Amino acid sequence: MSLDLGTFPIDLNQYKSISLDSTVNTLTAEQRDALKANIQLCRDALVFFTATGAARGVGGHTGGPYDTVPEVMILDALFKSQPDSYIPIFFDEAGHRVGTQYLMATLAGDLPAEQLMQYRAANSKLPGHPELGLTPGVKFSSGRLGHMWPYVNGVALANPGKIAFCLGSDGSQQEGNDAEAARLAVAQHINVKLIIDDNDVTIAGNPSKYLGGYSVKKTLEGHGLKVVECDGEDIDALYACICEAVNTPGPIAVIAKRPMCPGIVGLEGSNHGHDVISVKAAITYLESKGHQSAADILKNTVAPKNEYQFLGASAKWGSNRNVFGEAMVGVLNGMSETERKNSILVVDSDLEGSCGLSQIRTACPEIFISGGIQERGNLSAAAGFGMEPGKQGVFATFSAFWKCAFPKSPWHG
């Protein structure tokens, strides 16, 4: 049998049109069944096309968009059923969940399904975060994590009489920008509704463990928002909460509690679900759902190889981030534990594995702090620790995130 690697193997024409009325907060059996069918269809599609990125060696993110499918399906039905009541955009402050935007653009007819199989490929116009004007059907640029809610506040203010939704996460809610957005939304009674995927997972682990005392619900309530919570995998409870949000004037947050990657063997509840699903796990999942042709495409996808020979370099592959971490550990190992604790502080912002800090945490946990996704505060803490001679704070993040921390730091002259 010849395998067609160019045809999207999951039939998205099976997506069902659903009429929902937010004044009725219960689902009929027909509506419930249709929503569940759409949820399964879209989750299967997301697993497949994000896994093509893994198969081609370009990475991506599966867990975030996979998790939030139930609320996106409900919003899509509401947007189409009552178009005059909503700003029909799936604003998302977790830009890495861009798979949602690409899938919904495809379902809307703006993208051919086959293009999804080039997820994150060079020149595919399917980058790792949504970019307005680049990808057909994408209606906003997200920026980095936790920077969308302030923007959506403005969108809502520009559209009085309409409801704006913003998809959030327990990770993005750690960012200081969201605290500012919350205060403005409450003070100005902005008609913005948040649906927050609270799965207690970020890149480096579980907020409940590394950021003790942090609660999305209590934080938002402290800013004055009304907050309702539900099991995000209970479609009836989730729908009822979204209806309550729609019918509540002003800002309100729906917190959808669920494990990361519910139903995916080996990833459910794990921070490994944050990144792209492995090809092996995707094949197992797709075969269990009856998508053998999708699994076969993954099996037959060959990652490109670099055939260049580099002169003047060894055959060993490495990365600057890990060389940095290893060099730091080499210096730290020359100090006693007491000397290290008295003179060095390493503050991570949920990127320890991506910035070389994980080597330091493993070798010298006594000087390491998991500071959560809050660059400005963490950078300033590291700077403050190093204020006195003989003490050194260490902070690392992505260069694209650096701008979030540097301009507002008190030591910036």
Q: Determine contact, residues 367/346, Cβ cutoff 8 Å.
A: yes
> Which residue has 């009541």 as its token pair?
85
Structural domains for the chain: 12-299 (3.40.50.970), 320-405 (3.40.50.970)
What burial letters (b/e) apply to 237-270, b meaning 16+ CB within 10 Å? ebbbbbbbbbeeeebbbbbbbbbbbbebeebebe
Q: Give the chain's length.
A: 413
Q: Determine contact, residues 16/40, Cβ cutoff 8 Å.
A: no
What is this structure's pTM?
0.92
Q: Determine contact, residues 382/375, Cβ cutoff 8 Å.
A: no
Looking from the CA of 96 toward its CB, the CA atoms found within 13 Å total: 19
Residue 188 has a pLDDT of 98
Instruction: Give me the tens of pLDDT residue by residue for the chain, a chain 413 residues long.
Output: 344 556 999 999 999 999 999 999 999 999 999 999 999 999 999 999 999 999 999 989 999 999 999 999 999 999 999 999 999 999 999 999 999 999 999 999 999 999 999 999 999 999 999 999 999 999 999 988 888 999 999 999 999 999 999 999 999 999 999 999 999 999 999 999 999 999 999 988 899 999 999 999 999 999 999 999 999 999 999 999 999 999 999 999 999 999 999 999 999 999 999 999 999 999 999 999 999 999 999 999 988 887 888 888 777 778 888 899 999 999 999 999 999 999 999 999 999 988 899 999 999 999 999 999 998 899 999 999 999 999 999 999 887 776 665 555 454 44
- Share of the chain residues as helix, strand and coil, in percent rounded to the nearest 5: 45, 10, 45
Residue 150 has a pLDDT of 96
User: Furthest-apart CA pair in the chain: how many Å?
Assistant: 71
Residue 406 has a pLDDT of 57
Residues 6+ apart with CB under 8 A from 315: none
11's tokens: 């039939």
| C-alpha torsion sign, points 352, 353, 357, 360 | positive
Q: At what angle do helices 29-55 and 279-288 cross, to 10 degrees?
A: 150
